């Protein structure tokens, strides 16, 4: 019905309609922090994430030359150091965490070239649920402020991506994409004082897609 309404060609019988693939790459988490000044008191907090690995398993359907739907299972792991400092009286903590995220997402893809093209750039937008698990590691120090402990969180997220499919062999394409997933920030909630920013994951992904 969508294809007929938009006047776009439907996939022919000789064209693969379904696809699946696997991508891997680097994930970067956004940082956050906050400073509160009430003279003579001062308190500040921040967390510093490190880049980590990410994996994307995907499957989808081509509805026509330009529109597709896709579901993704995403995993990423990042190390992050949380720190808070308070002056008058002096107190502080620093705690390292290993952070893992598990995401289930559904997206609509808009391609800018027909399926017969060897290079097909695309834009996608979608939503889903992201589950975060944070486990403290042995690197820690504190004085007067309790260190955060293990915490879990699940939230609805907005997922956007740009990328390109490059046909490399019959039924196979190489895919590169840059994606951002934004959700509420459970890491900032552990800071003292708590931060205000959303948590964003930025992913550079490389891999292959198979057409069926």
How confident is the model at residue 140, as a pLDDT?
76
How confident is the model at residue 29, as a pLDDT?
97
Buried b (16+ CB within 10 A) or exposed e, 174-183: ebbbebbbbb
Residue 169, pLDDT above cutoff 80: yes
pLDDT band at 3 (very low <50, low <70, confident <90, very high): very low
How confident is the model at residue 101, as a pLDDT?
98
| This prediction's pTM | 0.86
Q: Which helix (H) or strand (E) holds 4?
A: helix 2-6
- Please give the average per-residue pLDDT across 76-105, as a whole number: 93
CATH number of 16-211: 2.40.160.20
Q: DSSP string spanning 33-46?
A: EEEEEETTEEEEEE
Residue 4, pLDDT above cutoff 60: no
pLDDT band at 13 (very low <50, low <70, confident <90, very high): very low
- Please give the average per-residue pLDDT across 28-53, as a whole number: 92
Q: Encoding tokens for residue 184?
A: 């509420």
């Amino acid at each position: 019905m969508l294809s007929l309404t938009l006047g776009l060609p439907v996939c022919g019988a000789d064209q693969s309609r379904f696809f699946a693939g696997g991508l891997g790459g680097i994930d970067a988490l956004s940082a956050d922090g906050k400073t509160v000044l009430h003279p003579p008191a001062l308190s500040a907090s921040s967390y510093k994430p490190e880049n980590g690995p990410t994996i994307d398993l995907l499957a989808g359907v081509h509805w026509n030359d330009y529109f597709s739907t896709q579901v993704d299972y995403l995993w990423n792991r990042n190390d992050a150091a949380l720190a808070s400092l308070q002056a008058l009286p002096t107190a502080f903590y620093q705690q390292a965490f290993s952070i893992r995220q598990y995401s289930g997402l559904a997206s609509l893809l808009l391609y800018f070239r027909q399926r017969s093209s060897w290079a097909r750039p695309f834009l996608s937008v979608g939503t889903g649920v992201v589950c975060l698990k944070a486990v403290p590691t042995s690197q820690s120090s504190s004085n007067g402020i309790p260190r955060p402990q293990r915490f879990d969180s699940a939230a609805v997220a907005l997922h956007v991506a740009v990328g390109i499919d490059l046909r490399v062999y019959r039924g196979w394409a190489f895919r590169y994409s840059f994606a951002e997933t934004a959700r509420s920030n459970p890491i900032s909630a552990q800071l003292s004082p708590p931060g205000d920013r959303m948590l964003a994951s930025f992913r550079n992904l490389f891999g292959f897609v198979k057409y069926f």
